């Protein structure tokens, strides 16, 4: 009997955000059947670089994280231009995430201020 590796699984509080992040970085796509339980990323089937690398599955877990991740992905770009593009992708994604959180916090603050003045 032989086994093959189907996917790499990563526990996450926000699996959708992680799936979107890694799909952007790796140039893969997020699986269409993602749900609240988990999301996966995969290479396109017609991708000439699809060498059978397993999908990456991000599962939602309720556990609070108290130690650093035990799994990390080592990335190796083919050239300097790819490295620069990767850094720009990471920065763009991170800034979007930070901006989104700031807008939510700002909206919450404004609601509290207006509610306190009305009540």
Please, what CATH class does the domain formed by 1-74 belong to? alpha beta
Separation of alpha carbons 15 and 27, rounded Å:
17
Mean pLDDT of the chain: 76
**How many residues does this entry show for the chain?**
119
| Segments in 27-79 forming alpha helices (H) | none
Structural domain boundaries of the chain? Answer: 1-74, 75-119
Separation of alpha carbons 24 and 17, rounded Å:
11
Q: How far is CA 74 from CA 7, 20, 67, 78, in A?
A: 16, 18, 20, 13
Summarize pLDDT for 46-71 with one digit per residue, the tens.
666 666 678 899 988 887 766 666 67
Query: Do residues 32 and 77 lie in contact, with contact meaning Cβ atoms separated by under 8 Å?
Result: no
Cut 0.85: pTM above it: no
């Amino acid at each position: 009997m032989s086994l093959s590796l189907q996917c790499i699984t990563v526990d996450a509080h926000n699996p959708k955000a992680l799936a979107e992040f890694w799909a952007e970085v790796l140039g893969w796509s997020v699986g269409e059947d993602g749900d609240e339980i988990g999301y996966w990323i995969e290479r396109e089937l017609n991708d000439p670089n699809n060498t059978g690398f397993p999908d990456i599955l991000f599962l939602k877990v309720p556990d609070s994280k108290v130690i650093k991740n035990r799994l990390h992905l080592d990335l190796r770009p083919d050239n300097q231009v790819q490295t620069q593009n990767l850094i720009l992708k990471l920065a763009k994604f991170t800034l979007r995430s930070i901006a989104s959180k700031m807008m939510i916090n700002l909206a919450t603050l404004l609601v509290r201020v207006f509610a306190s003045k009305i009540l």
